[in-house]
A and B are shown apart, each in its own frame.
Chain A
Amino acid sequence: MIRTLAPRLVVSAALVGLLAACSSEAPADAPTAAAEPAVIEERQDNFEAIGDAFKAVRGELEKGAPDFTLIASKASDINTRAAKIEGHFPAGTSVDDGFDTEALAAIWQKPDDFKAAAQKLVDESAKLASLAGEGDKAAVSAQAMTMGGACKGCHDNFRLDDKK
């Protein structure tokens, strides 16, 4: 019985698979029809670049003889970008507003805390940039970790995270 049915099942399964593949480009969960504000992509690109710069810093520090000039320039880049964070979060752009973002409503509920968290990254990246000039690997590594703590501290409180 099942044997005569099976080829048809295979064909329909293949068709369903094709349909699913075609529709996968459509937004998966968009509760609102409103267009996504451009600032969301802008801030995501900014954070992405901060992440890449930080990876480059850690990559250098894993080497026996890190390039401290590169670390200093990456730290300055992070510093410039960190200063933009505060202005990247206009009201109405949280994940609760239905956009594809990990920005929690806490950003707007505790604006002072958020501002302080962003400022922490500005301060720590500035410290890293100036320390890198001195070329002490242990000190630079320690400061890089401290700056990483600033990233993490903000993520823990203000970014939607699926860690559990």
Chain B
Amino acid sequence: MNAPRGTSPATEPDIRVWDPLLRATHWSFALLIPAMWWTAENSKWALHKRLGLVLLGILVFRVLWGFLGPQTARFASFVDGPRTVMAYLRGEWADAAARIGHSPLGGWSTVALIAAMLAQVGMGLFAGDPYDGMTGPLNPLVGVLTADTITELHETFFWVVAGLIGLHLAAITWYAAKGDDLLSPMVSGDRPPVAGVTGIGPLPWLRGLLALVLAAGFALWVAYGAPPLT
């Protein structure tokens, strides 16, 4: 049922490559980033702020999941050194047949996207002017001129995020044209079998719960202006 037509008899089942929490995180970015752009363009600042805080929580979760999550979610498993990336680009990557999840180049693309989104959301927390509409929850922590500079940077930096997303979509399209389907696994979580690889196993839900609670708690703390905790 899951095996594509025209392949060898489907004795080998598909293997799990992306866990459900990672996929939910990924697709929430695809929904939230356009929503953030739209709310900014249309001056829906209250919604912009609220969605931005949700995005902060999800980003923090993704970073925690990079340490607590299953193998393919972990930074340690997909952040490779320059030599590996160069070897991958030359088509001489030794692990090509045995690794599932991000490729050496895709891993850095993931890091860049997460870092850019974190920077953008982080700047938004300080943006605005209390005498002129909405402000981010951490705006009072910086001076008025600093906030002004951050606000302008926050506006400009969106195009860096958009550029990275464009690159991301172009790369997926390019791989799709080569016959390498990256989209379906990000939807279903499964990919065609790889010899000698068993996949990531069941979701470590307890660690998932821990990461979710920590991320939500952090976002909530920031939403209240990062008050002292003692």
Please list the residues of chain A having a beta carbon within 8 angstroms of any beta carbon in chain B.
2-4, 6-7, 9-11, 13-14, 17, 24, 28-29, 51, 54-56, 58-59, 62, 102, 148, 151-152, 155, 161-164
Indicate with 1 or 0, residue by residue over B98-134, a CB within 8 angstroms of chain A CB atoms.
0000000000000000000000000000000101111
Shortest distance from the beta carbon of B140 to any chain A beta carbon, whole Å: 12
Contacting residues, chain A, for B43 (C-beta < 8 A)? 102, 162
What is the bound-complex CA distance between A90 and B56, given in angstroms?
43
Query: What would be 29 A-B contacts, judged by CB atoms less than 8 Å apart?
Result: A3-B184, A3-B192, A6-B181, A6-B183, A6-B184, A6-B187, A10-B172, A10-B183, A11-B173, A11-B176, A14-B173, A17-B169, A24-B41, A29-B42, A51-B129, A55-B129, A55-B145, A59-B144, A59-B145, A102-B43, A151-B131, A151-B132, A155-B132, A162-B46, A162-B133, A162-B134, A163-B45, A163-B46, A164-B46
**Max chain A C-beta neighbours (<10 A), residue from B41, B45, B129, B131:** B131
Contacting residues, chain A, for B207 (C-beta < 8 A)? none
What is the bound-complex CA distance between A54 and B129, given in angstroms?
11
Indicate with 1 or 0, residue by residue over B1-26, a CB within 8 angstroms of chain A CB atoms.
00011000000000000000000000
Known: A3-B181, A6-B181, A28-B41. A14 touches B170 (CB 8 A): yes
Known: A3-B181, A7-B183. A55 touches B173 (CB 8 A): no
Known: A51-B132, A54-B131, A59-B143. A13 touches B169 (CB 8 A): yes
The answer to whether B176 and A4 have CB atoms under 8 Å apart is no
Shortest distance from the beta carbon of B124 to any chain A beta carbon, whole Å: 16
Summarize A's interface: helix, strand, loop or mixed. Answer: helix
Summarize B's interface: helix, strand, loop or mixed. Answer: helix
What is the bound-complex CA distance between A154 and B169, given in angstroms?
46
What is the bound-complex CA distance between A163 and B48, given in angstroms?
11
Shortest distance from the beta carbon of A60 to any chain B beta carbon, whole Å: 9
B198 within 8 A of A: no
What is the bound-complex CA distance between A54 and B187, given in angstroms?
50
B97 within 8 A of A: no
**Max chain B C-beta neighbours (<10 A), residue from A51, A58, A148, A151:** A58
B169's contact among A14, A102, A161, by CB below 8 Å, is which? A14
Contacting residues, chain A, for B132 (C-beta < 8 A)? 51, 151, 155
Shortest distance from the beta carbon of B215 to any chain A beta carbon, whole Å: 26
What is the bound-complex CA distance between A10 and B169, given in angstroms?
8
What is the bound-complex CA distance between A4 and B181, given in angstroms?
8
Within 174-189 of B, Cβ neighbours of A (below 8 Å) are at 176-177, 179, 181, 183-184, 187-188
Shortest distance from the beta carbon of B28 to any chain A beta carbon, whole Å: 17
Known: A28-B41, A162-B45. A6 touches B169 (CB 8 A): no
B173's contact among A3, A10, A164, by CB below 8 Å, is which? A10
Contacting residues, chain A, for B183 (C-beta < 8 A)? 6-7, 9-10
Shortest distance from the beta carbon of B169 to any chain A beta carbon, whole Å: 5
Contacting residues, chain B, for A4 (C-beta < 8 A)? 4-5
What is the bound-complex CA distance between A116 and B172, given in angstroms?
59
What is the bound-complex CA distance between A155 and B45, given in angstroms?
15
Shortest distance from the beta carbon of A153 to any chain B beta carbon, whole Å: 11
A55's contact among B144, B169, B188, by CB below 8 Å, is which? B144
Contacting residues, chain B, for A164 (C-beta < 8 A)? 46
Shortest distance from the beta carbon of A96 to any chain B beta carbon, whole Å: 16
Task: Give 5 closest A-B pairs by Cβ, nearest first.
Answer: A7-B176, A59-B145, A6-B183, A58-B144, A6-B184
